[in-house]
């Protein structure tokens, strides 16, 4: 069972600093609810554009006309403002989503190219927390050197204790007691969905097997990472659900720094 499966559902508010996403929804579709549920689980700051849908999930709707690409995309970008991603909830909005993304990228780069790469603001808070956990408790590096110096955080996690010369053990305890800790079901759900998707990565695993017949799962993953030039981090990131999410982070908040054996990385 996924983390949070037993938790109560319902519309959730966006996390502070969460990525802002424009969701384009046609007037008639049965898919909007799934997108709203996923956005709520991820704590995204969602903006909805539509050519006729009523307010969805308590969110206001901005007019978006897929039949007027030449002017509609520019107006939509001007109305909505900066977003980290544009997503079409169904086929009628696919061309408009591409047009909006094209306009936004031209604006980012002064009309001369493909804009700029997303920075730290494009990473949801729960994944920022997991990244900081990885830095002090790396894959294959268990047990962590609790007395060693903790590296300065890469991300700004509001409320996270930090001081010059902080030790790894102190950083682990601070992360374990932070509001983004994986001890909280809402954080587990957001991280799990972002990393594994709604299907627990079954589709990804099947695709990986199709293009890497005859290899074991780890070899398939490493081969795919090499092809995509992400060898340095793909296997690490996909280990987070097992290592940090499913078992929570209560062990990190303890005073002795001991981790349950079942979650050893």
Residues 141 and 247 in one domain: yes
pLDDT at 263: 40
pLDDT at 260: 36
Q: Encode burial over 178-213: b for 16+ CB neighbours within 10 A, e otherwise.
A: bebbbbbebbbbbbbbbbbeeeeeeeeeeebeeebe
CA angle 127, 248, 2 (to 5 degrees): 80
Mean pLDDT per 10-residue interval, the chain, length 265 residues? 44 63 86 83 85 77 81 78 82 84 64 49 85 93 89 92 94 94 91 82 78 82 79 88 79 43 40
Domain of residue 161, residue span: 125-263
The reply to whether 11 falls in a domain is no
pLDDT at 254: 46
Question: What does pTM read for this prediction?
Answer: 0.55
Residues 28 and 148 in one domain: no
Residues 165 and 252 in one domain: yes
Of residues 230, 229, 228, 208, the one with CA closest to residue 219: 208
Q: Specify the number of domains making up the chain.
A: 2
Residues 135 and 98 in one domain: no
């Amino acid at each position: 069972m996924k983390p949070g499966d037993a938790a109560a559902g319902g519309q959730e508010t966006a996390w502070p600093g969460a990525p802002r996403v424009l969701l384009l929804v046609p007037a008639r579709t049965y898919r909007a609810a799934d997108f709203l549920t996923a956005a709520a689980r991820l704590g995204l700051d969602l903006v909805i554009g539509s050519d006729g849908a009523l307010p969805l999930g308590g969110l206001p709707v901005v007019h978006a006309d897929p039949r007027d690409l030449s002017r509609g995309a520019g107006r939509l970008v001007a109305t909505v403002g900066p977003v980290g991603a544009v997503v079409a909830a169904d086929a009628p909005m696919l061309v408009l989503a591409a047009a909006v993304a094209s306009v936004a990228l031209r604006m980012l780069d002064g009309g001369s190219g493909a804009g700029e790469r997303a920075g730290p603001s494009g990473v949801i808070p729960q994944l920022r927390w997991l990244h900081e956990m990885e830095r002090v408790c790396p894959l294959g590096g268990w047990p962590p050197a609790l007395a060693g110096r903790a590296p300065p955080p890469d991300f700004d996690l509001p409320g996270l204790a930090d001081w010059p010369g902080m030790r790894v053990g102190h950083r682990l305890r601070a992360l374990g007691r932070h509001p983004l800790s994986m001890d909280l079901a809402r954080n587990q759900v957001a991280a799990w969905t972002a990393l594994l998707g709604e299907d627990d990565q079954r589709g990804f695993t099947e695709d990986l097997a199709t293009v890497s017949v005859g290899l074991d799962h780890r070899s398939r993953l490493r081969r795919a990472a090499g092809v995509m030039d992400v060898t340095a981090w793909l296997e690490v990131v996909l280990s987070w659900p097992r290592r940090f999410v499913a078992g929570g982070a209560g062990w990190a908040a303890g005073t002795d720094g001991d981790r349950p054996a079942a979650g050893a990385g």
